[in-house]
Structure 1
Amino acid sequence: MKLVEVELRRIRLPLVAPFRTSFGVETDRDILLVRVTTEAGTRGWGECVAGGLPLYSAEHTAGAQQVIREFLLPRLWRLPEVTAHRLEPALAAVKGHRMAKAALEMAVLDAELRTLGTSLGGWLGAVRDRVPAGVSVGIADSIPELLDAVHGYLGEGYRRIKLKIEPGWDVEPVRAVRERFGDIALQVDANAAYRLPDAAHLAKLDDFDLLLIEQPLADDDLRGHAALAARLRTPICLDESITSARAAADAIALGACALVNIKPGRVGGLLEARRVHDVCAAHGIPVWCGGMLETGIGRAANVALAALPNFTLPGDTSASGRYWRRDLVTEPFVLRGGHVEVPAGPGLGISVDEAWLDEVTSSVERLGPAS
């Protein structure tokens, strides 16, 4: 497969409601989309999950666009034949920038599988045609507001509730949700907001029978997570710390986690995400698919990944309406019986709403081999 053009498109998409975490409040998303066009005219889409600011990780939207343009694409153009498997080693000399690489890999893989007439789920090894959906609930202004939000999501049929927490917003909100809604599947996400000396405080969460506490400490503190795990009954799940299959193996060996959240963008793409899945499966560590407020493009990839056999917990694979009044895809993801369906069409299995895409586009950059 030969590529003749790569389009880097920035869009600004408003969220249904502000989403607050320990990183701050988002009211819209500055998103980088990647579209590749092959010599045969087939197009493939990718979505970069980096945020507008380098707060979740070192990557951010503008930086990802620059890295793709100046460092990744020149290596891609040198390839005599472009496939997802060939892309990975070709880009390995560029250190880091996993989210930028993942967006380019997704677009190439989408085009490749559309050419072959193969769905992404089938290619990855999916064993289900639908996956259970959880929802992530941001930090609210008050406990009554939080309870109203959780009540609404449970009413929609979500199978699991994840609460964002931070110092000062942890034990009491969790207590309130557990007391109000009883024996629901409940977990919390700290986004690295705590430190090991907070262990005694975090141990108070043990009273609420949580599925897990996600990434309580800094991403580079595996030893701290191992020490914390020895002091908590609540299982620790790692997110930001897991940047590759090797990182997953190290964390497991150190006893730093009992579960792993897999995000394709965070680990450098779907190929590496599958490797993380396989490493965890080999060690008996359950995984689930996290979300980064993706549009239907990135969500299609996440849902296909979440259909692999070791994804045994509901992921952040919410319906499109959780975040967007109007998604970028012509057939938005919807919740049916607490599940979302895995796209069955070739590639990502989605079609982009081109009219809406043009409305929310802020810039377009088209690049070719001679650029």
Structure 2
Amino acid sequence: MTIRVLVVDDSSFIRKRIAEILDQEQDIEIAGYAANGAEAVRKTQELRPDVITMDVEMPVMDGISATKQIMRDCPTPILMFSVSTQAGAKATLDALEAGAMDFLPKQLNEINGDVEVAKRLLRVRVLGLGGQSARFRQQRRVLSAATPSFRTPPPAPTPAPNGAVPAPRFRRVGARDLRLVAIASSTGGPVALQKILLEIPATFPLPILLVQHMPGSFTKSFAERLNQICKIRVKEAEHGDELRAGVAYLAPGGFQMELSEGARKTLVVRESRAGENYRPCADVTFGSIAKNLSGKVLAVVLTGMGSDGKLGAEKLKAAGASVWAQNEESCIVYGMPKAIVDANLADGVFDLNEMANELKSL
């Protein structure tokens, strides 16, 4: 399958640079170019690309306004490019709320310092979004129809070798059974997290750890935005933070967040090690929780590419924890939750609205 891309930027140099990077992938084809948001809206209608790469700051019409109009008239997966400043982070979060699916820093070397790795990541992101384009358009039609929320039952248990089918694992948990909630997400996660956290009351009796794949220049702004609109407190995690009920701790981009050993539970924020592909990584956080907090944990895996969180969820399940996954219909990208469901690790599979209600009921 060839992924057709519309490249949108007011700089001809940047448009050419993005095209050169994408052209190195044989399954990606440049469908066209646009120099501003208004032209992007028009060419999206004309060319029907599978993916759009979109700049934020442009003349005539900015990228956020263009994203809103495209999502209304011709829903298409959009990858935003943003500068890594506080203003750029705010604009990127606005773009995600407007309907963009994913984002990358405009200066690719800011991703991890290796330009070639960053170029490969750009191609992987475009391929991933392109593979979701048909389902994404269908999902946007469903959402625009304002269908009610629903709960998806857990997947059918895998038969044992002797043919016996184990009983379904789904069980409702309460705050008395738990000491911590941990939530992991990636592509589509900022909007999903905001939707869930907005429903949690200020009296929520548990601390919450948040692992969202996001560059370090964005996590502080994201935490501050959530803190302004949510009833609970939300902060970017710092080394030595002591866990408190009703506080959500967002793992800082570019680092790993772990739960400390010992009776006094604090957070360890450290540099990444070899083999830890995501910074932050849900597997790292989940694994440390499984090691240091036994089974008194609820882990939630939301929308995102890849399978980060699966290995950590296996460790949590072995320690007696509960694991929930977002259902396919409400995911922007059904990757991380799918890995949980396919591995038969999910104690419950929920629509995003129902997930918020279930957490609120704790």
TM-score range, shorter chain: 0.3 to 0.5
Structure number with higher relative contact order (C-alpha < 8 Å, ≥ 6 residues apart): 1
Q: TM-score, normalised by structure 2?
A: 0.37
Q: TM-score, normalised by structure 1?
A: 0.36
